A = this chain, B = another copy of it.
Amino acid sequence: MSLSARKTPRQGRAQATYDAILEAAAHIIAKSGLTAFNTNAVAERAGVSIGSLYQYFPNKDALMVALIERQQQNQADTLKAAATSLGPDADFETIVRSLVRAAMQHHRDNDLLASAIDHEEARLPIDAMLGSYLDQGGRVVAQLLQRFQNDILVVDADTAARTLPALVRAVTDAWANLSPPQLDIAEAEAVRAVLGYLRQGSTH
């Protein structure tokens, strides 16, 4: 069963249809979870016919894969924006705090969606994507780490670039999903975890 798109949109309206479908899928999962995620509901919410959906996605899993890719791209863009929004002379802790805040924001807005993606990533055969994520969002992080070599203890930049986003996600999950959410604690704990990780000497 193929997981790649069936057909790439060539005209403007086709692109609009394609986007509306992905947007609808994201909305449904984010609001009602994986259980409510079915192709008929997606088509209806997108305002297109079920037939149109299957013009662009050969099956439900392919739609999920496209959604995962889109979400990873969004996350990478968010990080990039947060990293560059501060001037070039911001200090290390300020930047870390800004990145953490951006990542947390992004994740809190898409709580169910993020966990759904985690689950589906594990289920679907998608090695290539992990790599591409590292190339996208991870590159921002890796560059920062090299720029601030003096503030941190020896870490391989690529290794850290994979571990760090996971840290932030984890802390966000642990604290932001309580009722009521403890957002201040979440941010403080995430920053603490990130700085602690970066300043910790090798444990080998």
Q: Could you say which of A4-12, A40-48, A172-180 contacts chain B?
A: A172-180
> In the complex, what residue of chain B is closest to A168 when comparing beta carbons?
B170
Q: Are A123 and B162 in contact (CB under 8 A)?
A: no
Q: Is A16 an interface residue (CB 8 A)?
A: no
B-contact 0/1 string along A119-139, CB 8 Å cutoff: 111110001001000000000
Chain A binding surface SS class? helix
In this complex, the member of A159, A169, A178, A197 whose beta carbon has the largest number of chain B beta carbons within 10 angstroms is A197
Q: Could you say which of A65-73, A75-83, A110-118 contacts chain B?
A: A110-118
Copies of the protein in its oligomer: 2
Q: Is A166 an interface residue (CB 8 A)?
A: yes
Given contacts A178-B130, A197-B193, contact A33 B203 (CB under 8 A): no
Q: Could you say which of A17-25, A50-58, A142-150, A183-191 contacts chain B?
A: A183-191
> In the complex, what residue of chain B is closest to A173 when comparing beta carbons?
B166
Q: Is A85 an interface residue (CB 8 A)?
A: no
A141 to chain B, nearest CB (A): 13
Q: Which of B34, B171, B195 contacts A200 (CB under 8 A)?
A: B195
Q: Is A105 an interface residue (CB 8 A)?
A: no
Q: Which of B122, B189, B200 contacts A115 (CB under 8 A)?
A: B122
Listed by A's residue number, 8 A-B pairs whose Cβ atoms lie within 8 Å are A93-B203, A115-B119, A115-B122, A118-B119, A130-B178, A163-B189, A193-B197, A195-B196
